[in-house]
Amino acid sequence: MTSCNVKSKGSPDGTDDAARKVYVAPGEHDEFYAFLSGGFNGQVSVYGMPSGRHLKMIPVFSQHAENGYGYSEESKALLNTTYGNIPWDDLHHPKLSRTDGMADGRFLFVNGNNTPRIARIDLTTFETVETLEIPNSAGNHCSPYPTNNTEYVVAGTRFSVPISDEGGIEDIELEKLNEYYRGSISFIKVDDKSGEMDLEFQILVPGFDYDIANGGKGPSEDWIFFTAYNSEQATTLKEVNASLHDKDFVAAINWKKAAEYVKQGKYREIPAEYFHNKMDKKTHVASSEVKKKVKVISPEECPDIMYLIPTPKSPHGVDVDPSGEFICVSGKLASMVPVHSFSNMLKAIENKDHVDVFESIPILKYESVLAAEVKDIGLGPLHTEFDGKGNAYSSMFVSSEIVKWRLKDFEILDRIPVYYSVGHLMIPGGDTHKPDGKYLVAMNKITKDRYLPTGPELCHSAQLIDISGDKMKMLLDFPTIGEPHYAQAIKADIVAPKSKKIYRLDENEHPHATLKEADTRVERDGNIVRVYMTAIRSHLAPDNIEGIHLGDTVYFHVTNLEQDWDVPHGFAVKGARNAEILIMPGETKTLEWIPTKTGVTPFYCTDFCSALHQEMQGYARVSPEGANVPIKYWLGDPKK
Ligand SMILES: [Cu+2]
C-alpha cells in the first residue's frame, strides 16, 4: 500500500471544503440559475450553480434536432432573415432583462454574432419566443445590452461596413473601404409588459470596430459605454494594422438624449430590410414580418449624444462598477485596466476639455477623465465584474488568471490561476448595481488536459470560484456545451416559482390543434395531407393511416393531450428528412414528411413516456403516385 500525496494541478486547497461548497444533495436544488452562452453552437445552456449541473439547452439561433426547434413548422420562422432561413449562428452574450437596474428574471436577451440578430428567451418557459434581425450591422458582437429598466436593448456592430443611405450595404472597392464605412448602434425598444422588441432607431457612428458595451448605473444610467478598437480604421492584416495606436476609444453615448432627439423628429428614415420573427403566445406558431425602414440619427446632427474617451489599447471589455462612477476598461494590449471616472467625464464635457474632434464627435482628454490606471494587473485583461463589496475582478487571457482589486484605492488584492486562457468572467448580478458576490465563474477558451481526453475536439471548460472571503478559492471545474462565451446568473427563487409546468389545452389556439381524440382525422387537399393526431399515454391517434401517395406532402399536427408536468411525447417518422418533434403537454407541433419510398412506414413516440412507451407507435401506408388507395385512418377496429 502506498499513500498518495500527489495533489493534481489546479485542485483546490482543502478539497473537502470545496466539495462541501458545491455539493447539492440529491433531490435538492441549486441556489442560482446560470445561463451560459454556447458560442458557436448558437444556443444557451442552463446550469445549476454551485453544482454545475446541466439543466437544459435552449435552442436559439441553431436548429436543434433533439426537440425539433428550427425543424418544426411552428418554429421555422424564428430563423428567418433577409439571407433566408439561417439554421446556425454564433451566440456570445446573454443578458437578463432588468427592473430598477436589477435582473428581474423575466427575459434573457442574446445576440447572434454572424448574421446580425437578437433573440428573446421567455424565462417562464425557457423557450426562444422572438428574433429580430439587425440591419446595417456586420458582426453583431457588441450586443445585446439592456438599459436599467430594459427601456432599450442596445447593439453595436463589430465590423464597420459601407452603409448606404439608399438602404443595404454598398458594393465598394475594398481598397477604398475605409473612406466609406460606418458603424451603427441600434436601439431596440422593449415593450414593458410583453417584452416584445422593436428596432426604434440607429445612430450611425464612425467606422471603428465596436466590441463590447455596458450601461451606466445610478448617476450614469442615462449613458451606455462602448469599446471601440481599430481607431486606425484598418481593413487588412488587422492583427498588426489595428494595433498601431497607443490608445483607441471608449465611446460614451447618452441614450436618453439620443431617444429625445428621435422623439423630436430629428431623424432620417432610410430603407433597410430586416426580419422580425415572433412566436404567438396563444397558437405557439412563429411568424415573420419584413420591415422596410429604419430611423437613423447622427452625432453630427444631434450634438452631445456621443463622446470619445481615449483608452489604451485595443480595449475589449467595458464594465461599470455598482456605484455607476467607475468605467473599468480592459486594455487588451496595454496589460492594464484604465478606470475612467463618470463624474470626471461630465466635467470634461462641461469644460470642453477636448483634445480633438473625430467626424464632429469631441475626443475628451484622457487625463481629465481618468480616475486611475490599474497597472501590473496581468497580461491580456479582457473583462471585469464586481462583488458589491467594493472589489473588482478582472480576467486575464494571456496570463490565465483572475485578479481581484479594490475600487477604493485600485490596489491589487489577490490572484488565482484559471485553466486555461479565460475570456469572460461572471458574478451573479456582477454587472448590476447590487451584485451577489458569492461565486465567480471563469469561462475558459482552452481546455487541454483538464478532463479525460475525447480525441482532438475537447469540451470547453468553466470554473467556479468562491469569492466570499478575502482570498479566492477554486471550487469546481465543469465542462460546458459549446463555448461558454459569457453568462448571467440569477437567484433561483426569482425564476423557479414562475416556471410553467404545462400548456393548458383549453388555451391551445393552434390552427391545427386536435383537442380530443374523437376529433382526430386525416384530410387531403390536393397533394397536401394533414394528419390531425393526438398523443396520450400510450397511443397516437390515429395509429393506422392509408391513402398517402408518393408526391404528397404530409403534415403531422400532433397535439399532446396530457395535462401533467413532465409528460412530453415525441414524434418521428421513418425516413423523414428533418428531425423529431417533442410536444409539451397541451401543445401542438407539426412535422413535415415528404415520403420518398412506397411501403408501410412506421412512426412512433420518441420520448419514453410510460411503461407502454414501446407500444406507442403506428403505421402509414405509402402507395405509388396515382394509385387508387383512398384516405383511411383508424385507431383500434378499422371497421368502426
Ligand atoms: Cu410517448
pLDDT of residue 5: 46
CA of 67 to the centre of ligand 1 (A): 14
- State how far the Cα of 229 lies from the Cα of 382, in Å rounded to an integer: 13
Q: How far is the CA of 549 from the centre of ligand 1 (A)?
A: 27
185 CA from centroid of ligand 1 (Å): 48
Query: What's the average model confidence in pLDDT over 38-61?
Result: 97
pLDDT for residue 105: 98
Please tell me the distance between residue 584's alpha carbon and the centre of ligand 1 in angstroms. Answer: 11
Considering all CA atoms of the chain, what is the largest pairwise distance in Å, rounded to the nearest integer?
91
Give the CB-side neighbour count of residue 442, counting CA atoms within 13 A: 34
pLDDT in tens, 285-301: 999 999 999 999 999 99
Angle at 91 between CA 87 and CA 96, to 5 degrees: 125
Q: Give 604 Cα–ligand 1 centroid separation in angstroms.
A: 8
Question: Is the pLDDT assigned to residue 618 strictly greater than 60?
Answer: yes
d(CA 468, CA 436): 10
Average pLDDT (314-329) is 97
Q: For the sheet containing 473-480, what is the strand order?
A: 422-426, 439-444, 460-466, 473-480
The percent of residues above 70 in pLDDT, for the chain, comes to 98
Residue showing cell 450614469: 220
pLDDT of 570 over the 70 cut: yes
How many Å lie between the centroid of ligand 1 and the Cα of residue 505?
17
Over range 320-324, report the average pLDDT: 98
Whole-number Å distance between alpha carbons of 101 and 192 = 14
Query: What is the signed CA dihedral for 241, 242, 244, 246, rounded to 10 degrees?
Result: 180
d(CA 612, CA 610): 5
Which segments of 462-522 does DSSP mark as H helices, in order? 492-495
- Beta strand residue intervals within 492-584, DSSP E: 521-525, 528-536, 539-541, 544-549, 553-560, 569-573, 581-583
Tell me the CA–centroid distance for residue 538 and ligand 1, in Å: 6
Which pLDDT belongs to residue 3? 43
Summary mean pLDDT of the chain: 95
Q: Identify whether the C-beta of residue 93 lies closer than 8 Å to the C-beta of residue 117.
A: no
pLDDT of residue 36: 98
Q: What does the pLDDT average to over 16-40?
A: 96
CB 386 within 8 A of CB 322: yes
How far, in Å, from the CA of 350 to the mean position of ligand 1?
68
How far does residue 621's CA lie from ligand 1's centre (Å)? 21
Residue 1: pLDDT above 50? Answer: no
Q: Give me ligand 1 centre to Cα 618, in Å.
A: 12
Cα(541) to centroid(ligand 1), Å: 12
Residue 635 Cα, ligand 1 centroid: separation in angstroms?
16
Answer whether 128's CB lies under 8 Å from 69's CB: yes
How far apart, in Å, do the first and last CA atoms of the chain sit? Answer: 75
Using the mean position of ligand 1's atoms as its centre, give its distance from the Cα of residue 608 in Å. 6
Q: What is the pLDDT, as a whole number, of residue 13?
A: 60
Write the Ramachandran bin of 293: left for phi over 0, alpha for psi from -120 to 50, otherwise beta: beta
Q: How far is the CA of 62 from the centre of ligand 1 (A)?
A: 26
Looking at the predicted structure, is the pLDDT value of residue 10 above 80? no
pLDDT of residue 331: 87
Q: How far is the CA of 609 from the centre of ligand 1 (A)?
A: 4
Ligand 1 centroid–CA 634 distance in Å is 18
| Average pLDDT of the segment spanning 77-91 | 98
State the distance from the centre of ligand 1 to the C-alpha of 583, rounded, in angstroms.
10
pLDDT tens-digit profile of 484-501? 999 999 999 999 999 999
Average pLDDT over every residue of 395-411? 97
- For 554-559, what is the mean pLDDT? 98
Q: How far does residue 539's CA lie from ligand 1's centre (Å)?
A: 7
**Assessment of whether the complete model's pTM goes beyond 0.85:** yes
- How much distance in Å is there from the Cα of 287 to the middle of ligand 1? 28
Q: Is the dihedral of CA 24, 29, 31, 34 positive or negative?
A: positive
Beta bridge partners of 635: none
Q: For residue 178, count other CB atoms closer than 10 A to its CB.
A: 17
- Residue 73 CA to ligand 1 center (angstroms) comes to 20
DSSP string, 251-275: EEEEHHHHHHHHHTT--EEEEEEEE
Q: What is the mean pLDDT of residues 226-255?
A: 92
Under the banding of pLDDT at 50, 70 and 90, the label for residue 587 is: very high
What pLDDT was estimated at residue 586?
98
CA of 495 relative to ligand 1 center, distance in Å: 29
Cα–ligand 1 centroid distance for 547 (angstroms): 25
pLDDT per position as a tens digit, 151-184: 999 999 999 999 999 989 999 999 999 899 999 9
CA distance 152 to 62: 25
Strand partners, 340: 327, 370
Tell me, in angstroms, the distance from the centre of ligand 1 to residue 617's CA. Answer: 9
Q: According to the model, what pLDDT value does residue 112 have?
A: 98
Q: Is the peptide bond before 144 cis (omega within 30 degrees of 0)?
A: yes
Note every long-range contact of 283-288, with CB atoms under 8 Å and residues 24 or more positions apart, other chains counting.
283/509, 283/510, 283/511, 284/74, 284/503, 284/508, 284/510, 284/587, 284/588, 284/589, 285/73, 285/74, 285/510, 285/511, 286/74, 286/75, 286/76, 286/77, 286/78, 287/77, 288/77, 288/80
* Rounded distance from Cα 560 to ligand 1 centre (Å): 9
Q: Is the dihedral of CA 78, 84, 88, 93 positive or negative?
A: negative
Q: From CA 623, how far away is CA 597, in angstroms rounded? A: 9
